[in-house]
Every structure is written in C-alpha cells, then in structure tokens.
Amino acid sequence: MNKNLSIKPDINDQRLMKKVNGKDHLGNAFSQNVVMERPLTIYLNKQEVVTSMTVGDHPEWMAVGFLVNQGMLSKNDKITSIDLDWEAEVIVVRTEKETNYEEKMQKKIRTSGCAVGTMFSDVIDLFESVKLNNNSKFHTSWLTSLLKEINTQPSLYLEAGAIHSCVLCKDNKPLIYIEDVGRHNALDKIAGWLWFNKIATEDLLLYTTGRLTSEMVIKTVQMHIPILISRSGFTAAGVDLARKANLTLIGRAKGKRFIALSGLERIIYD
C-alpha cells in the first residue's frame, strides 16, 4: 500500500458499494460487491449544467472540476458556497460574480465516456490556448514501479470492478488516486482538487485506466498536465488532439511495455 498517497479510495465507505447475492458458473451461491452509481445534477448558480452518473464520493471536486474543464470557472473566480443535496440529487456551485452560459448550453456534445460524458463545443478554444511544459520528462524506468504502486493500492476496482481510476503522479510516485464509474468524472475530481489546492501541474503526469479519447486528452491538456498514460488504447481523435497540443500520450501500458503516439521527445529510454 502506498502510504504517500494524500487521497486514495475509501473501500470502507458503505455508500460506494453494496453486496449482492447471486450464483457462480457452477450454480453455487455467490456474494459480489458492486459499485453504486447515482445521478448528480450540477448547477452553476441558477443554471443547470449537466447530469452525470457518479459513484458519489468527492462530489464537490467533481462539480468544480467539471466547471473548470468546461471553461465555466477560472482559477481567479471566487466560490461563495457549494450546496449538496443527495435526496434531490443536486449540487449547486455558487460564485461571487453572476454567470450566464445559456448560449454555451446549446452546444453540448455527448462524448464516448461511460456514465454520460458531456462537454461543450467551445472548449476546444480553451484547449488550443494551452502551452504544455516541454521540459517535463518521463523515464521508462519509472513505469514498472508506478504501475505496481497503482495496481496494488486497495481500491473499489479490486473490491468490485466496473469502475475507472485516475491517478495524479509525480515522476514514479502516485499522489492522488481517484475512482468513478466514468473516467471523465474521475478526471474532473482531480481537476477540482487542483483548483481548491492551487497545485502547479507542469511537471506532473496522469494515469488513467480508461481509453485515451478526445475528451480525456482535452481535459488533461486544460489541466496543464504534459503526460497522460493509460493501460487502455487510443482513439484517432484522441491521438490527433494530443499531437496538436504536444501532449505525451502513452497507451497499452502494462509491466515494462507501452506504446507512445505523441509527445515522444519527453520520453527518456533508460
């Protein structure tokens, strides 16, 4: 277990999993942990923005991170309150200044993400303005120890499966391990944590269990993280956008093996 993780999955939180009885392939009684998923509608002040299916932990980070990644909140905005009501399945983020994104809301795009992924078409304008740190490096010798730390961390995935994780790392050390039924939700939670803690990201890397899609690339770039790694594969749109932003994109990462399709100059083969 990584004792250096400041944020990690809480496998003892009874709200996140429940036990369901069934039978196995031999017809024997079997008890299985399954993850919860529940709808949560995000409001920015008086405006409904999106409804996502989420496992339910760290809802404040997810809501703020989603709004940051959609360009609706900036690092300079002041949040006056966050009101969460699980009975009404609503979270309201209130800001000091008035906001009105009615026109923006007409440009929703349903993404390939599980658990209802959504983004807005003008986000690409923010994406194109980001300049990633070209001096950041990824040593191939880090990969084995990094993946071992991640894969042996007690998690909802090991307990129940059917969930994605995103892990923020410094070199070969995981810092924050977040899970959700949607990989985009897990990434938004990290974005929210970063917003609250004002952490510099120019020398960090991100690991995800999910596919390297356009949405994951866009959100990673907007978080100013220069390296994105996944155990899964790529989509063509994800690769194209990563190359446009010069994001180091590494997929199929298992053991010592990986495939890199973008930002190759950051990789040190040692």
Q: How far apart are CA 146 and CA 211, in angstroms?
A: 19
**What does the H/E/C string look like for 187-246?**
HHHHHHHHHHHCCCCCCCEEEECCCECHHHHHHHHHCCCCEEEECCCECHHHHHHHHHHC
pLDDT at 115 over 80: no
Where are the chain's structural domains?
1-270
pLDDT in tens, 22-77: 999 999 999 999 999 999 999 999 999 999 999 999 999 999 999 999 999 998 99
Query: With contact defined as beta carbons under 8 Å apart, do 115 and 180 qualify?
Result: yes
CATH class of 1-270: alpha beta
CA dihedral 139, 144, 148, 150 (to 10 degrees): 30
pLDDT at 180 over 90: yes
| CA atoms lying within 13 Å on the CB side of residue 246 | 12
Q: How far apart are CA 165 and CA 78, in angstroms?
A: 29
Query: With contact defined as beta carbons under 8 Å apart, do 221 and 71 qualify?
Result: no
pTM of the full structure: 0.92
